[in-house]
Amino acid sequence: MNQTQQKQFYKLQPIGRVVMNATEGQCFLQIDEPCRAGLQQLECFSHVMVFWWADQMDREDRRNILTTELPYAKGVEVGVFACRSEYRPNPIALTTIPILAVNDEKGWVVVPWIDAFDGTPIIDLKPYIPICDRIREATAAPWMADWPMWMEEAEAYFSEHDTDFGE
């Protein structure tokens, strides 16, 4: 077996977890003590890119699903690399989210929401940097043509439209 045919294994360690406090309507990223020094100066940025492991969807049979019907575009089936489905060979998810506050000492990054479950493992954080992460002439697939162009408009759009998310 040559190197490209061998399965490669990489060691990933969570740096923290998602914490939802539904009674107080709070959401924050709890960073583990050994990684808290990495939060230094994160509050200087408006947004953070949160890489998280979709652990509640992580099953071997789901890792082999390479196509899926989109919950927001009935009748459209795409490959998992053309959508953000949790079914994928490695269930890594990404959410770019505003930073409300950072507490280096306690290891908290307070965020307004995140599309992950309480207790979801966080595998990395990166600051959102416009020059690196924003594309002037980006396009999306035709089934997303009526979606808003900006995250700030998404909540209003999805609350007005029947997208069947979560089904």
96-139 pLDDT per residue, tens: 999 999 999 999 999 999 999 999 999 999 999 999 998 889 89
N-term to C-term CA, the chain: 41
Task: Indicate whether 166 pLDDT > 50.
Answer: no
SS3 (DSSP) at 45: coil
Q: What is the pLDDT of residues 27-58, one digit of tens each?
A: 999 999 999 999 999 999 999 999 999 999 88
Beta bridge partners of 54: none
Domains of the chain plus CATH, in order, are: 16-129+152-160 (2.40.30.70)
List C-alpha distances in Å: 27 to 24, 114, 115, 145. Answer: 9, 7, 11, 31
164 band by pLDDT with thresholds 50, 70 and 90:
low
Lowest mean pLDDT among 14-18, 122-126, 161-165: 161-165
- What pLDDT is recorded for position 162? 60
- What pLDDT is recorded for position 160? 81
pTM of the model as a whole: 0.86
Q: What is the mean pLDDT of residues 68-91?
A: 90
